[in-house]
């Protein structure tokens, strides 16, 4: 059980901050039934070598293998619903107490929960780009057919393979989004890390600059991170339990 004193401490940090930014990773979506990547015993990389199934080289060499791997994960993402942690952040933003969310997730659950300022630094599955003609298409229709049949989707114009606009290993991050995320975090005086191991660079390094300038830090994550020693408050409990309690305290509920 999380002590009320820690909840109050985190809530007071949010109430006093002028520019709070949330930084979220796969751990915020595990309560929605989407596995994360690095948890011991259940993370996706416990069962797969990411360079063999989720790298740009692997996709170019054998896109069918990539789509076979991602099919069950895509189904989980399509069927998943935002959990109380996603909803809590959306409520905090609506109350004017959260400047935005920088997320490593591609599952779209923040948007579906009602958040508006969301910077998806690792891309998303709402669009796909043809590797041959580079035309970009919404995945509505494509993704449902793919989940049903398991067949690799192809460009309706030239027949080339469609690649989801999610960032693979070896692939550059979306430049504009990354720059906006860096700018948003650099302005923060409070960073709320929720469900991120802070292991994937360069995104995981973004909090360092504002922390060096005096920003405060709250971490909600099951496992230690490299920034734990700089955190004001750390929670190791379920993010879907902790965040709603913090937000309720902030809003005086």
Band of the pLDDT at 169, cuts 50, 70, 90?
confident
Residues 208-223 have pLDDT tens digits of 999 999 999 999 999 9
Instruction: Report all structural domains of the chain as residue ranges with CATH numbers, in order of start.
Output: 1-34+83-122+173-253 (3.40.50.1220), 36-79+125-166 (3.30.1600.10)
Q: What is the pLDDT of residues 26-48, one digit of tens each?
A: 999 999 998 765 545 444 544 55
Alpha helices in 134-174 (DSSP H): 142-149
Mean pLDDT of 7-36: 94
* Residue 51, pLDDT score: 65
What are residue 166's DSSP bridge partners? 123
Q: Which of residues 93 and 73 earns the better pLDDT score?
A: 93
| Unique residue bearing structure tokens 């393979």 | 161
* In the chain, % of residues over pLDDT 90: 73
Q: 213 — alpha (psi -120 to 50), left (phi > 0) or beta?
A: alpha
Q: What is the average pLDDT across 169-184?
A: 94
| Rounded-to-integer distance, Cα 197 and Cα 187, Å | 22
Q: Of 86, 110, 122, 124, which is the active-site residue?
A: 122
Question: 194 - beta bridge partners?
Answer: 24, 220
Report, as an integer, the average pLDDT of 132-156.
Answer: 89
pTM beyond 0.85: the answer is: yes
- Active site annotation includes 122: yes
């Amino acid at each position: 059980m999380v002590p009320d004193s820690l909840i109050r401490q985190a809530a007071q940090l949010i109430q006093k901050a002028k520019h709070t930014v949330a930084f979220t990773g796969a751990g915020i979506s595990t309560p929605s039934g989407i596995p994360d990547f690095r948890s011991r015993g259940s993370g996706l990389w416990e069962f797969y070598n990411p360079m063999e199934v989720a790298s740009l080289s692997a996709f170019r060499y054998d896109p069918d293998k990539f789509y076979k791997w991602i099919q069950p994960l895509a189904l989980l993402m399509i069927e998943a619903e935002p959990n109380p942690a996603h909803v809590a952040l959306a409520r905090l933003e609506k109350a004017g107490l959260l400047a935005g969310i920088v997320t490593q997730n591609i599952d779209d659950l923040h948007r579906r929960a009602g958040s508006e300022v969301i910077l998806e630094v690792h891309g998303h599955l709402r669009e796909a780009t043809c590797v041959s003609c580079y035309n970009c298409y919404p995945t509505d229709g494509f993704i449902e057919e793919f989940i049903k049949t398991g067949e690799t989707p192809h460009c309706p114009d030239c027949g080339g393979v469609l690649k989801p606009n999610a960032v693979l290993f070896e692939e550059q991050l979306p430049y504009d989004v990354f720059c906006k995320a860096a700018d948003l975090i650099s302005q923060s005086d409070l960073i709320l890390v929720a469900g991120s191991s802070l292991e994937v660079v360069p995104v995981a390094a973004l909090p360092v600059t504002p922390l060096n300038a005096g920003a405060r830090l709250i971490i909600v994550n099951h496992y230690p991170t490299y920034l734990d020693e700089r955190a004001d408050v750390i929670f190791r409990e379920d993010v879907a339990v902790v965040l709603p309690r913090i937000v309720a305290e902030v809003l005086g509920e």
